[in-house]
Structure 1
Amino acid sequence: MQFNIDVFKAVKAGASAVSPVPGIASTLAGDSGDVVTKLKALPIEGLSEHITTIEQCQGTFTNFSNHAQDQVDNAIQRSSIAQTAKQVESYVDQIPPSCLNTEAMMGSITGAVDSVMSAIGGVIGQMSSAITDFISGSMSESELVAMIGTLASELQASASVLADKIKAELEFIEEAFAALKNMSMVISIESMWNDPCGQAVMDKVLPDNIKEFL
C-alpha cells in the first residue's frame, strides 16, 4: 500500500477540512440579530413586521452556518461519493464526466453563494447605517421605516437563496448515497453470482429481470 506519508502524518496530528463559510454565515446571523436589537429599542410604530422578517432571515443564516459546517466536516467523504456517483452516471448514461455532481453537492462551501453572502452583509450594513442616521437626526421616522422595509425585503430574497441551497444540497447528498448503495449492491450481486455458494442464494431471490443479465 502506498500513500502520501506527509498527509497521513498531518491527518494523524489532527488536521481536518476547513472553510471560512460557516464563520461568515454565523457573523451574518449575529449582525442581523444586532440590527433586530437596535430596532426593537426604537420607539417607532410600523417596524414590527420588518423586525419579524429580519428575525426569520437570522434563523436562515444560522441554519446555513450549521449546514456549511456539516459540509466542511464531511467534505472529503461527500466529495468522494459525488465523484463515485458521477462515474456511475457517466458509465450508465454514456455521458462525458464532469464536476457537476461535486458542485451541486458542495457548492455552499466552494463559492456558489459567496456573492449572496456578500450582498447580505451589505444590506445589514445599510440597516445599521440607517438606524445610526435616525438616531443622529439625519433621517426621519417615516424614512427609516420605509428604508428598513425595503432592505428587509432584499434580505429575505437573499436568505431564500441560502435556504434553497441547503435544500438542494441535502437532496443531492441523498441521491448520491442512493447511487453509491445501488452500485455496491450490483457489485455484490455479481460477486455472489460468480460464487457457487452465493449463486445458490441469488438464484432463489433475484428477480428474472436481473438474472437474465448475469
Structure 2
Amino acid sequence: MEISSLIEPLFENFENPIISMLAVSTVETLYMVLLSTLFSLLLGFPIGILLVITKEGGIYEMKKFNAILGVIINALRSFPFIILMIILFPLSRFVVGTTIGATAAVVPLSIGAAPFVARIVEGALLEVDPGLVEASQSMGASNSKIIFKVMLPECYPTLVHGIVVTIISLIGYSAMAGTIGAGGLGDLAIRFGYLRFKLDIDLCNNYNYHSGSNHTISW
C-alpha cells in the first residue's frame, strides 16, 4: 500500500486544501528520506569498510578487488540522479511492484546515496591513526575486532557528520524524484508551484526543505 493512501485521510479535513497538500507532501518526503537513509547506510557502510580493509596495506589486502570495487563506486557516483532513477525503474517495479510513488522512489534513492556513504565511511576510516591498528594487531586482536572495536569508534564523529551530509543530499534527491512521479514536496512544487504558477506553494515548499536541512545540520 502506498504511503500517500495512509496519510491523506489524516489531513483531508483541513479547511485550507493547500495546507492539507503540504502536510501530505511533507510526510511523503520524510518517509522517502528516512527509509532511503536507512537503506543507503546498510548498503554503503559494508562497502566503505571493504574499500579500506582491502586496499594496499589494509588488514585484508586484495588490490584487484579493491580496484574493481572503486571503479563501480565511482561510476555510480558519476550518474546524474534522475538518469539513475530512470535506469532503476525496472528494479523498483521488481522490488515494490510499481515505479510511481514514495515507496518506489526509496529504491533508487538508496542505491544513489550508497556510493556516497561508502566514500564517507572510507574517508572516515582512513583518518584513524595507523598506529592504533598496528598496536591492536601486536596485541593479537582479530581483524573483526580491529574494525568494530578500534577503527569505527575512533572515527565516530566523522561518521556522524557524514551521515548528516547524506541526509541533506537525500532531501535534495527526493525533490528531484518528485518531478518524475515519486510524490512529496518536489511533486507538489512542479504540479502546483510551476505548472499552475502558484508562488505561495513554491515558497512553502522551499521553507519546508530549508527547515528540514537546517534541523538536520543542527542535529
The higher radius of gyration belongs to: 1
Fold conserved between structures, TM > 0.5: no
TM-score (norm 2): 0.30
